């Protein structure tokens, strides 16, 4: 079977890239087609045949304004020779056309009229649809925001029409959560099968504790592990994320300052300076750079809880936190509903407001969580499960 993989871009490490990596491991000979590749930003695909085109000439920093050009680029890729195309996308890569789609549209000279396109679509293109108002409010271009805002408002209608045309091209949709499934149905009118993304559970699962640990005590709580060692829960909350405006890390910072709770913010991004300024030199908020998985797992395992204030179609980082036994406090209108069970491995809050999150933290501290049981709730999202479900889906569609 001749397979091609397609993704929007390959410029940094993230959840979409983790999905693509697993697919690359399944189909190591499949070329990867993308609009922009930066091996310095992501070094996971050194052994892959990554193919780019004329968009590769543009600087990485212009990625966010190249949506219209990406639509044109992907829709004009000739991939009709492949038996199977799998696109990993939350933006424009779904615009590629399978041989089957071309044949049904009357293109009788396609190389493989049976070739299928399966799209692993995280969510409809957010800046055109469900996150449009948020994007217009703060496009993230600093002093150029007013100009970008005007241009985007003028262009959004034709961009939406092009996105809807692209959404008709995949033969089948897979998506990452029940929330994303709802969004794909709402905006694209397409049905999708939920296969949760792969989470590296084994890399974050640590020696778990037997006893329940009560949240809220300002002193560190220690408990006996199965091998006789001692694990401790320390008096801080943690958030790990790319520091971009739509992740709403500002809510985590503000809420912890309101509740007078310590917060450790791990990561980097364009919002970093604003978040540091927001903390006002408070001793409650500590900023740490990106770190290796082993070190990150230790920070998560010792945290009282993990804060997840953003509206996301899934969210791999909170599941990694759960794997360490760290309960999660999450905004409850996105993909977090698939893995945060209120009162069992964390709690959900219903409004993206700092005072609501602060109240959720105080409510969280009145509950008891068995961190061993919390860790077990992450096992349903491991890589083996993803591999099995993807292979079963593909095999069911390829005759």
Q: Tens of pLDDT along 325-368?
A: 999 999 999 999 999 999 999 999 999 999 999 999 999 999 99
pLDDT in tens, 273-327: 999 999 987 889 999 998 888 899 999 999 999 999 999 999 999 999 999 999 9
Tens digit of each residue's pLDDT (9 = 90 or more) over 213-232: 444 443 444 443 333 333 57
Average pLDDT over residues 109-121: 93
CA dist 56 and 46 (Å) reads 17
Q: Give the span between the Cα atoms of 284 and 238, in whole angstroms.
A: 12
**pLDDT of 31-51, one tens digit each?**
999 999 999 989 999 999 999
pLDDT of residue 142: 75
pLDDT top residue among 241 and 65 = 241
pLDDT of residue 218: 39
| pTM (2 d.p.) | 0.86
The 8-class DSSP code of residue 207 comes to P
Whether the pLDDT of residue 397 is over 90: the answer is no
Q: What is the pLDDT of residue 399?
A: 63
Pick from 311, 363, 318, 310: nearest CA to 339: 318
Q: Comparing C-alpha atoms, which of 118, 134, 138 is closest to residue 126?
A: 134
The total of other beta-carbon atoms located within 10 Å of residue 371's CB is: 25
Q: What Rg value do the Cα atoms of the chain yield, rounded? A: 22
Per-residue pLDDT band at 94 (split at 50, 70, 90): very high
Give the pLDDT of residue 321: 96
User: Once rounded to an integer, what is the mean pLDDT over residues 121-130?
Assistant: 91
Q: What is the mean pLDDT of the chain?
A: 89
Neighbours of 72 (CB within 10 A): 12
Structural domains of the chain ordered from first start: 3-198+384-397 (3.40.50.2000), 201-380 (3.40.50.2000)
């Amino acid at each position: 079977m001749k397979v091609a993989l397609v993704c929007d871009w390959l410029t940094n490490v993230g959840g979409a890239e983790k999905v693509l990596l697993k697919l690359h491991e399944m189909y190591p000979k499949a070329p990867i087609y993308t609009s922009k590749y930066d091996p310095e930003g992501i070094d996971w695909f050194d052994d892959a045949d990554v193919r780019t085109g004329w968009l590769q000439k543009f600087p990485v920093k212009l990625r966010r304004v190249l949506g219209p050009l990406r639509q044109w680029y992907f829709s004009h890729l000739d991939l009709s020779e492949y038996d199977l195309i799998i696109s990993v996308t939350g933006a424009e890569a779904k615009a590629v056309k399978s041989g089957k789609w071309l044949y049904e549209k009357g293109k009788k000279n396609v190389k493989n009229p049976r070739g299928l396109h399966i799209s692993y679509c995280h969510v409809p293109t957010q800046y055109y649809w469900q996150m449009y108002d948020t994007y217009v409010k703060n496009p993230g271009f600093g002093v150029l925001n007013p100009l970008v805002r005007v241009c985007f408002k003028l262009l959004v209608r034709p961009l939406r029409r092009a996105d809807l045309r692209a959404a008709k091209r995949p033969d089948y949709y897979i998506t990452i959560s029940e929330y994303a499934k709802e969004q794909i149905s709402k905006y694209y009118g397409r049905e999708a099968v939920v296969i949760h993304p792969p989470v590296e559970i084994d890399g974050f699962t640590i020696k778990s504790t037997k006893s329940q640990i009560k949240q809220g005590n300002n002193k560190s709580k220690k408990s006996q592990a199965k091998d006789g060692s001692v694990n401790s829960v320390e008096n801080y909350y943690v958030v790990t994320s790319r520091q971009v405006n739509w992740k709403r890390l500002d809510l985590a910072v503000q809420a912890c300052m309101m509740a007078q709770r310590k917060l450790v913010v791990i990561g980097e991004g364009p919002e970093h300076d604003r978040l540091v300024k927001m903390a006002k030199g408070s001793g409650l908020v500590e900023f740490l750079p990106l770190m290796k998985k082993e070190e990150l797992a230790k920070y998560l395992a010792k945290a009282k809880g993990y804060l997840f204030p953003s509206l996301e179609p899934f969210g791999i980082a909170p599941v990694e936190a759960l794997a360490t036994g760290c309960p999660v406090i999450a905004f409850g209108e996105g993909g977090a509903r698939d893995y945060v069970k209120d009162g069992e491995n964390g709690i959900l809050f219903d409004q993206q407001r700092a005072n609501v999150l602060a109240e959720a933290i105080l409510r969280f501290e009145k509950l008891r969580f068995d961190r061993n049981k919390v860790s077990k709730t992450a096992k349903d999202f491991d890589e083996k499960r993803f591999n099995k479900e993807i292979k079963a889906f593909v095999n069911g569609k390829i005759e």
